[in-house]
Amino acid sequence: MALIVVENTFHYEASLARLWPLLSDSSLLAELDGQPAYVAEDELQPDGSVIRRAKGVFGPPVAAEWTEDLGEWVFHRYVRQLRQFTKGAFKYIDFVSDVAPTENGFDLHIRIEMETAGLVGWAGHRLGLIRGGAAKVVASCDRILRAELAQPAREDEDAQQATAFDPAPLSPAVEKRLDDALADIAASHGESRLLGQLRAYLAETPETWLQRIRPLVLARQWRADEGEVVSLCLAAHHHGLLRLRWEVLCPRCRNASDVPDNLSDLPKSLHCSTCNVDFEQDFSANVELIFQPEPWLRALPDGAYCMMGAPSVPHIKVQRHVAPREQLRIDPPLAPGGYRLRTAQAGDQADINWDGTAGFPTVLAQDGRILAAPPGEFGGIVLDNQTDRSLTFVIEELTWRRDALTGDRAIVMPAFQQYCPDQILRPGDDVAIANVVLVFTDLKGSTSLYEALGDGAAYNLVRDHFDYLGALIEGHGGVVVKTIGDAVMAAFAEPVEAMRAALEAQQGIGEFNSGRDDGGIVLKIGLHQGPCIAVTTGEHLDYFGSTVNVAARVQGESRGGDIVISDNLLAAAGVRDAVAEADAGTPVAETVGLRGVARPMRLWRLTMTAAP
Q: Do 431 and 504 belong to one domain?
A: yes
Question: In this predicted structure, what is the pLDDT of residue 376?
Answer: 84
Please state, in angstroms and as integers, the Cα–Cα distance from residue 265 to each residue in 129, 270, 421, 543, following that order: 49, 13, 15, 19
pLDDT in tens, 102-119: 999 999 999 999 999 999
Q: Do 8 and 134 belong to one domain?
A: yes
Answer whether 156's CB lies under 8 Å from 220's CB: yes
State the CATH number of the domain containing residue 441.
3.30.70.1230
Q: How confident is the model at residue 162 (pLDDT cuts 50, 70, 90)?
A: low
pLDDT in tens, 4-45: 999 999 999 988 888 888 888 888 778 777 788 888 887 777
pLDDT in tens, 172-218: 999 999 999 999 999 988 788 899 999 999 998 888 889 889 999 89
Q: Do 114 and 241 belong to one domain?
A: no
Average pLDDT over residues 440-467: 86
Q: Which residues of 222-238 are buried (b: 16+ CB within 10 A; e: fewer)?
A: bebebbbbbbbbbbbbb
Residue 370: exposed, middle, or buried by beta-carbon count in 10 A (0-12, 13-18, 19+)?
A: buried
**Nearest alpha carbon to residue 45 among 295, 287, 400, 345:** 345
**Separation of alpha carbons 77 and 95, rounded Å:** 14
pLDDT in tens, 463-480: 999 999 999 999 999 999
Average pLDDT over residues 60-76: 87
Question: In this predicted structure, what is the pLDDT of residue 25?
Answer: 83
Q: Do 558 and 523 belong to one domain?
A: yes
Question: In this predicted structure, what is the pLDDT of residue 555?
Answer: 95
Identify the domain boundary among 149, 182, 202.
149
Identify the domain boundary among 398, 415, 443.
398
Is the pLDDT at 612 greater than 50? The verdict is no
Q: Do 347 and 302 belong to one domain?
A: no
Average pLDDT over residues 494-502: 96
Q: What is the mean pLDDT of the chain?
A: 88
Question: In this predicted structure, what is the pLDDT of residue 159?
Answer: 52
Q: How confident is the model at residue 405 (pLDDT cuts 50, 70, 90)?
A: very high
State the CATH number of the domain containing residue 81.
3.30.530.20
Q: Do 270 and 391 belong to one domain?
A: no
Average pLDDT over residues 42-50: 74
Question: In this predicted structure, what is the pLDDT of residue 100?
Answer: 95
Q: Do 184 and 128 belong to one domain?
A: no
Helix (H, G, I), strand (E, B) or coil at 229: helix
Q: Do 104 and 180 belong to one domain?
A: no
Question: In this predicted structure, what is the pLDDT of residue 610?
Answer: 46
167 occurs within a structural domain: no
Q: Do 385 and 502 belong to one domain?
A: no
Q: Lowest mean pLDDT: which of 248-262, 285-299, 331-345, 581-595?
A: 248-262
Please report, to the nearest 10 degrees, the dihedral formed by the alpha carbons of residues 550, 551, 553, 558 taken in order.
150
Average pLDDT over residues 363-389: 92
Residue 189: exposed, middle, or buried by beta-carbon count in 10 A (0-12, 13-18, 19+)?
A: buried
Q: Do 535 and 500 belong to one domain?
A: yes
pTM given for the model: 0.83
- 326 residue type, one letter: E
Number of domains forming the structure of the chain: 4
Domain coverage including residue 193: 172-307
**DSSP for residue 455:** H
Q: Lowest mean pLDDT: which of 142-151, 176-185, 226-235?
A: 142-151
Q: How confident is the model at residue 76 (pLDDT cuts 50, 70, 90)?
A: very high
pLDDT in tens, 27-36: 877 877 778 8
Q: Do 321 and 298 belong to one domain?
A: no
Q: Do 331 and 364 belong to one domain?
A: yes
Q: Which residues of 550-563 are buried (b: 16+ CB within 10 A; e: fewer)?
A: bbbbbbebbebbbb
Strands (E), 336-486: 337-343, 349-354, 362-366, 369-373, 381-385, 391-397, 431-443, 479-484
Question: In this predicted structure, what is the pLDDT of residue 611?
Answer: 38
